[in-house]
Amino acid sequence: MPEYHFPIPGSVDEEKIIIFVRKHWVSFIGPFLLSAAMLLIPGGLIIGLFLSEFDILKGFVVHIVVLGLSIYYLIAVTVAFVSFISFYYDIYIVSRDYIVDVVQEGFWGRKISQISLLRVQDVSSNIQGFLPTLFAYGDVLVETAGEQTQNFLLKSVPNPQEIAAKIMQLHNDLIETEGRHHQILEAEGALAPGVIREGGHHAGEEGSLTAKQPTGENSPASQEIPPQKDFQDSSNNSGDVQIPQAHEESSVPKSSEKVQETEDESWPKTQHNGEGEISHNELDKGGEIDLK
Partner 1 sequence: MYIFAIIWFLFMFVYVAFNAYGIFRVVKMRIKGDIIPVVVLIYVIVIAVIIVATVILIGALDWGKHLQDLIKI
List contacts with partner 1 (CB under 8 A): 2-6, 56, 58-64, 66-67, 70-71, 73-74, 77-78, 81-82, 84-85, 88-89, 91, 107-108, 110
User: What does the angle CA 123 – CA 128 – CA 133 come to, to the nearest 5 degrees?
Assistant: 105
Burial code of 65-93, b = ≥16 C-beta within 10 A, e = fewer?
beeeeeeeeeebeebbebbeebbeebbbb
Q: Tell me, letter by letter, the H, E, C secondary structure of 211-247.
A: CCCCCCCCCCCCCCCCCCCCCCCCCCCCCCCCCCCCC
- Please say which residue, 104 or 144, places its beta carbon nearer to partner 1: 104
**Cβ 60 to partner 1, closest distance in Å?**
4
**Cβ 39 to partner 1, closest distance in Å?**
9
User: What is the rounded CA–CA span in Å between residue 175 and residue 228?
Assistant: 11
- Please say which residue, 106 or 244, places its beta carbon nearer to partner 1: 106
**Cβ 18 to partner 1, closest distance in Å?**
17
**Cβ 62 to partner 1, closest distance in Å?**
7
- Please say which residue, 89 or 267, places its beta carbon nearer to partner 1: 89
Ramachandran angles phi, psi of 20, nearest 5°: -135, 105
DSSP class per residue in 52-105: SS---SSTHHHHHHHHHHHHHHHHHHHHHHHHHHHHHT-EEEEESSEEEEEEEE
Q: How far is CA 19 from CA 95, 97, 239, in A?
A: 7, 12, 9
User: What is the rounded CA–CA span in Å between residue 280 and residue 268?
Assistant: 20
**Cβ 170 to partner 1, closest distance in Å?**
22
- Please say which residue, 29 or 184, places its beta carbon nearer to partner 1: 29
User: What is the rounded CA–CA span in Å between residue 262 and residue 68?
Assistant: 82
- Please say which residue, 108 or 130, places its beta carbon nearer to partner 1: 108
- Please say which residue, 50 or 88, places its beta carbon nearer to partner 1: 88
**Cβ 234 to partner 1, closest distance in Å?**
23
